[in-house]
Amino acid sequence: MREVAVIGTGMTKFGELWDSPLRDLYAEAVADCLKDAGVKRDQIQSAWIGCMTSGLFNGQEHLASILTDYAGLSGIAATRVESACASGGAAFRAGWLEVASGASDFVLAGGVEKMNDGADATYCLSTAADQEYEVYHGVTFPGLYAMIAKAHMHKHGTTREDLAAVAVKNHKHGARNPRAQFPTEITMDTVLNAVTVSTPLGLFDCSPVSDGAATVLLAPVEVAEDLGRPYVTVKGSGHATDSIALHDRSDLASIPVVKKAAEKAYAMAGVGPKDIDVVEVHDCFTIAELVCLEELGFFEPGQAAAATKAGTTALGGDLPVNTSGGLKSKGHPVGATGIAQIIEIVEQLTGRAEGRQVEGAKIGLAQNMGGSGGSSTVHILEVS
Amino acid sequence: MREVAVIGTGMTKFGELWDSPLRDLYAEAVADCLKDAGVKRDQIQSAWIGCMTSGLFNGQEHLASILTDYAGLSGIAATRVESACASGGAAFRAGWLEVASGASDFVLAGGVEKMNDGADATYCLSTAADQEYEVYHGVTFPGLYAMIAKAHMHKHGTTREDLAAVAVKNHKHGARNPRAQFPTEITMDTVLNAVTVSTPLGLFDCSPVSDGAATVLLAPVEVAEDLGRPYVTVKGSGHATDSIALHDRSDLASIPVVKKAAEKAYAMAGVGPKDIDVVEVHDCFTIAELVCLEELGFFEPGQAAAATKAGTTALGGDLPVNTSGGLKSKGHPVGATGIAQIIEIVEQLTGRAEGRQVEGAKIGLAQNMGGSGGSSTVHILEVS
């Protein structure tokens, strides 16, 4: 397999972007990415685009064809991939495989979601769960993660304040990210006194409904070297699935798919949790950040909350987590999230995370998740 | 790049399968495929699943997670790919890239669509066109292909009877395929006297609304050799895109994306149209078969109709086309179609196409198309 580099990044601001249609969002991210990489459109051979449900949100399938056409790339091989909220991570993995195989040298791996377009977002997102055995009975995504939170509280003594501390930290980080949807610091009181969405989760425990697109450009390391610009190398890629439905899991206080994906990525990269300098995890709800950090091996089960309150996972701590603001503050256009996480890690490793830079970061990890743990990708990136 | 073999095939019957939910269809195809290959579930590392719009048809996204779980494969890397009706071809290409890269040895490439589930199929399928500039103005897929047919008639003198001859031929083939939705021979009179769907296309010029699933198992050629069972080798893979919307094309009597994808596949395989023994093309409408055969280089523009009437493309002719019955007779569960085409070619090349065998076939080609030509894949397979 060829070693693969990320040689360019591009993304839109995340937010309620009522003036930007789906196709414009992707085109803007591509333009931003190609400018960053110094690569021309006619050099691009292929694009993989993560998107969860443009059919339901926007009435538009055949997505890779229309998006690459509007991005000025018509003619290339272009494929949409879907793994619910892990669609971006899955697109990154697909692009990595194409470059690694030797089939193509310049491959875009991107993601997009236009969630504010008139559709019922709660219904659209519910299609990431098991329709026949979960959704038809009334459960929503805040409800599913609330069950995980309750189980975690029961098993590990996690408190309402532990969850709130994740939101406060991520908003503090996001306030330093100009592309964040909510770049605003918040207090514990704000989180604890917010309206309840699904007990124990309140409004500030939940990531928002967002529009946005992100893409990176992949190339073989030898091509990246020739270009003479900063790049990072993909050292590990892990992808795993688990049952979509919570009723098929033996322990609701864990999300085993994250551990499975991480084990594959660590093994391939030849590193472990202790080697990682900066992390982006899938904090679609505050509880998810705690459980994912435990599944990734950074903390023992039940210990991520104490680490969060001690400042370990904050900027300036030993293991800064979600320096981008995470899904909570940066926003969560579901198909774009996995790529935006990769972009944050690339910016950190190449010293371009202005205002939120983790000094000396050499190895970073990005973990993207689908549904309530039905799928997950883990990617480990390193700068030379 | 490693050379990749197809070492097993599995598919359901195509049809209105009201008793079979989406997840059961895929599970049945996987069971059939693994039995055919003599490979066990725990050897499978990854699955790619083509599906156009399970979100709209079935209210179910996160598709690869739920389908692999129900197929007894939970834990593996599993990703859905979408390129409208070319989703199956795109899934095959993704699986091929993964095995070619060296990342995995046993990879399933499949497709599924459950179109009879209560949703409005005409609306669901329209999302393969440009929603904002085509669909909102009332066009449907029969309407789009009717425009292509009218342009072809105007430019090349193609007649209503020329179109009907495609349907008659494909039903004659499909009558020999036990998995076909409509395994029934029809006459020219039946086609010509059927109710009009969109002038000049009548009911028998249109592929049906179908349920079904298909999957193949891919492995490196050296692994296939060790297994000691019949296999075919992937010699060429081409994938291209074009504008979704017809108004962006310069000539409606052609579908340029097919030529682009074919050029890539022929170049990679080191063969040309004259070397191909058996062909599956994307006859979603009768006109599509004629145009695709011309774009693939088998006939000059405007000449495929005469060849069809002369019997060249029928079983027993010089270039048998759609021996499976094609989309018209076999059925067209859109996400599964691209894989079902590959399966027909594999069965032909390995001498297992009982009742419709093309004697001595060594090299076959499968062409899958998205929308009205917004994307296409072309794969060339060879038996040693």
User: Do B286 and B194 contact (CB within 8 A), yes or no?
Assistant: no
In this structure, are strands A211-220 and A196-198 parallel, antiparallel, or unpaired?
unpaired
Check B85, B206, B284, B292 and give the catalytic one. B85
Instruction: Name the CATH architecture for the domain at B4-121+209-232.
Output: 3-Layer(aba) Sandwich (3.40)
* Distance from C-alpha of A325 to C-alpha of A336, rounded to nearest angstrom: 15
| pLDDT score recorded for residue B310 | 98
Q: Do residues B93 and B370 touch, judged by C-beta distance below 8 A?
A: no
Q: Give the single-character DSSP code of B104.
A: -
State percent of chain B over pLDDT 70. 100
- Spacing of C-alpha A179 from chain mean position: 14
Tell me the mean pLDDT in the region A290-315.
98
CA A261 to chain centre: 14
**pLDDT tens digits along A202-231:** 999 999 999 999 999 999 999 999 999 899
Task: State whether A127 and B90 contact (CB < 8 Å).
Answer: no
| Nearest alpha carbon to residue B256 among B237, B243, B270, B269 | B243
Evaluate whether the domain defined by B138-208+235-382 bears CATH number 3.40.47.10. yes
Q: In chain B, what residues touch A103 (CB-CB under 8 Å)? A: 1, 97, 100, 237
DSSP 3-state of A26 = helix
Q: Which residue intervals of chain B bear CATH 3.40.47.10?
A: 4-121+209-232, 138-208+235-382
Q: How far is CA A178 from CA A14, A325, A334, in A?
A: 10, 10, 19
Q: Verify whether the Cβ–Cβ distance B103 to A83 is below 8 Å.
A: no
Q: Please give the backbone phi and psi of residue A335, each rounded to the nearest 5 degrees, phi first.
A: -70, -25
The minimal CB distance from A241 to the residues B52, B74, B260 is found for B74
pLDDT tens by residue, A124-181: 999 999 999 999 999 999 999 999 999 999 999 999 999 999 999 999 999 999 999 9
Q: Is the ipTM of this complex over 0.90?
A: yes
Q: What does chain B come to in residues?
A: 384
Contacts with B1 from chain A: Cβ below 8 Å: 101-103
Q: Which DSSP category does A275 fall into?
A: G
Q: Which of A65, A98, A259, A378 to mutate to test the interface with B (most CBs of B within 10 A)?
A: A65
Nearest chain A residue to B81 by CA: give it.
A81
C-beta neighbour count of A384 within 10 angstroms: 12
Nearest residue of A to residue B3, measured between CA atoms: A101
Name the minimum distance, in Å, from the CA of A56 to any CA of chain B: 6
Q: Which two structure tokens, joined as six digits, stand for A101? A: 């195989």
Structure tokens at B265: 């596949």
Cβ <8 Å between A239 and B77: yes
Cβ contacts (< 8 Å) between B79 and chain A: which residues?
A: 81-83, 90, 93-94, 239
Q: What is the dotted CATH code of the domain comprising A4-120+209-232? A: 3.40.47.10
Across the interface, whether the CB atoms of A131 and B80 are under 8 A apart is answered no
The structure tokens listed for B264 are 């890539």
Residue B296, classed as helix, strand or coil, is: coil
Mapped onto helix, strand or coil, the DSSP state of residue B238 is strand
Would you call A242 and B52 a contact, using CB atoms and an 8 Å cutoff?
no
Q: Which residue of A has its CA nearest to B74?
A: A242
Give the model's pLDDT for residue B384: 87
Residues of chain B with pLDDT under 70: none
Percent of chain A with pLDDT over 90: 99
Q: Do A82 and B81 lie within an 8 Å CB cutoff?
A: yes
Looking at residue A229, the DSSP 8-state letter turns out to be S
Give exposure, B365-374, as e/b (b: 16+ Cβ within 10 Å): bbbbbbbbbb
**Known catalytic residue: B292?**
no
Asked if A66 lies within 8 A of B130 by C-beta distance, the reply is yes
Residues of chain A with CATH 3.40.47.10: 4-120+209-232, 122-207+234-382
> What sign has the CA pseudo-torsion B61, B67, B70, B74?
negative
Contact A239 B90 (CB under 8 A): no
Chain A residues in contact with B59 by the CB 8 A cut-off are 127, 131, 135
Cβ distance of B239 and A79 shorter than 8 Å: yes
- Are β-strands B107-114 and B46-50 bridged in parallel, bridged antiparallel, or unpaired? parallel
pLDDT tier at A27, thresholds 50, 70, 90: very high
Q: Which of B53, B62, B101 sits opposite A100 (nearest CB)?
A: B101
Catalytic residues of A: 85, 332
Q: How confident is the model at residue A384 (pLDDT cuts 50, 70, 90)?
A: confident
What is d(CA B49, CA B213) in angstroms, rounded to the nearest whole number? 10
Which residues of chain A does B74 touch, with a Cβ-Cβ cutoff of 8 Å?
Answer: 241-243
Tens of pLDDT, residue by residue over A35-83, are: 999 999 999 999 999 999 999 999 999 999 999 999 999 999 999 999 9
The answer to whether the CB atoms of A58 and B131 lie below 8 A apart is: yes
Q: State the smallest CA–CA distance between residue B255 and chain A in angstroms.
A: 12
The whole-angstrom distance between residue A302's C-alpha and the CA centroid of its chain comes to 23
* Residue from A26, A51, A61 whose CB has the most chain B CBs within 10 Å, to mutate: A61
Determine whether the interchain pair A62/B83 forms a contact, defined as Cβ–Cβ distance below 8 Å: yes
DSSP A250: S
- In B, minimum Cα distance to A244 occurs at B66
The four Cα atoms A64, A71, A103, A230 give a dihedral, to 10 degrees, of: -130
Judge contact between A383 and A235, C-beta under 8 A.
Answer: no
Average confidence score pLDDT of chain A: 98
Question: Which of chain A's residues have a Cβ under 8 Å away from the Cβ of B60?
Answer: 127, 131
Cis peptide before B208 (omega within 30 of 0): no
**For chain A, what's the residue count?**
384
Which of B60, B102, B131 shows the shortest C-beta gap to A1?
B102
Q: Which CATH number fits domain A122-207+234-382: 3.30.1540.10, 3.20.20.70, 3.40.47.10, 3.30.2270.10?
A: 3.40.47.10
Closest CA–CA distance from residue A339 to any residue of chain B (Å):
16
Single pTM value for the model: 0.98
B3, B63, B80, B82: best to mutate for the A interface, most A CBs within 10 A: B82
pLDDT tens-digit readout, A135-147: 999 999 999 999 9
Closest CA to A363 of A207, A229, A233: A233
The pLDDT value recorded for residue A2 is 97
Q: Report strand pairing: B363-370 vs B375-382.
A: antiparallel
Amino acid identity at B114: K
Count chain A–chain B contacts defined by CB atoms under 8 A. 206
Interacting residues of A126 by C-beta distance below 8 A, sequence separation 6+: A135, A139, A140, A141
Contact assignment for A79 to B102 by CB distance below 8 Å? no
CA distance B228 to chain A (A): 26
Q: How far is B2 from chain A (nearest CA, A)?
A: 8
- Contact residues on chain B for A129, CB-CB shorter than 8 A: 62
Backbone angles phi, psi at B69, to 5 degrees: -60, -50
> Given an 8 Å threshold on Cβ–Cβ distance, is B62 in contact with A102?
no
